[in-house]
A and B are shown apart, each in its own frame.
Chain A
């Protein structure tokens, strides 16, 4: 359950950004989570809802932008999405010499506050 720790980091950071901007209530927080990052959005939402009570983010929603993994073929430069079972073969030239360029994101993007 590292989602609880991550939710706390999101909340702490959102609260301080909100207060710094002269606002005093957070309406939503938007984050970006790569599907290969090992963070489960459902667990993150659950944790966020549990810890926001009694803070200026009490009514805030956590909006998660999921980022699908993306690969680039080192042989022909084709960009493609790996299959669900993470099979990493270039659909263009069948090369397996590929690198994963997206899907590991874990960052906060913005927040709505009043």
Chain B
């Protein structure tokens, strides 16, 4: 017999993600899923943002997702904020189940914001909701301006796009107009930030926007 099903393939993950989202919302935590390629500067952006938000008395917690290792978690831990490391053991993305398993070890009641740094990858993480309020992506100008059209899903899913390492712009052939226009074709409402974690350019604007989300 022919059985019609018509359903989203990742429905089971979505259900778990919704459960995570309910738990986070109940604790009053705004959750961000931070995505980007390896080396885009996700952890550096995170360090800059946390330093600034902390000085404004916003209580931020972090879940670090990596295939292996805990180098990124150590960098965040040095900022004196709650951090949990997840090693995916080969998986190229975090899924809702992995987040669900560590949520209880986070002091949710004493947090305002949770930032989940996803595994460095421009393809897979975009498919998997983890319980976030928004997705945020980091694209460094050293990666090339053709990325929006090569990996459209991530740009479509992200509420905001951070062009990072803009201090290196003069040394690359990155066409900012093109990248920006392509990203906005794929996702007209995408919010755009331009940052340098070295000079701290753009960090203030990004933090002001993040604070306004809650």
Contacts and interface: CB of A to CB of B under 8 A. Distances in A.
A104 B153 contact: yes
A12 B11 CA distance: 11
A108 interface: yes
A73 B175 CA distance: 24
A17 B182 CA distance: 40
Interface stretch (B41-49, B70-78, B119-127): B119-127
The size class of the interface chain B forms with chain A is 35 or more
Nearest to B10: A9
A60 interface: no
A99 B4 CA distance: 30
Contacts, number: 101
Contact of B126 (A1, A10, A38): A38
A111 interface: yes
Interface in A83-114: 85-86, 88, 96, 98-100, 103-104, 106-114
A100 B92 contact: no
A56 B39 CA distance: 43
Given A36-B152, A88-B185, A5 B6 contact: no
Given A5-B91, A38-B123, A100 B152 contact: yes
A1 B141 CA distance: 26
A95 B122 CA distance: 28
Contact of A96 (B90, B181, B186): B181
Interface residues of A, number: 36
B150 to A, nearest CB: 8
Interface in B147-165: 149-154, 156
Which of A23, A107, A114 has the most CB atoms of chain B within a 10 A radius of its CB?
A107
B185 A99 contact: yes
A110 B4 contact: yes
Interface in A12-38: 12-14, 17-18, 21, 23, 31, 36-38
Interface of B: 1-13, 90-93, 95, 123-124, 126-128, 149-154, 156, 181-182, 185-186, 188
5 contacts: A9-B11, A37-B153, A38-B153, A104-B156, A107-B8
Interface of A: 1-2, 5-6, 9-10, 12-14, 17-18, 21, 23, 31, 36-39, 85-86, 88, 96, 98-100, 103-104, 106-114
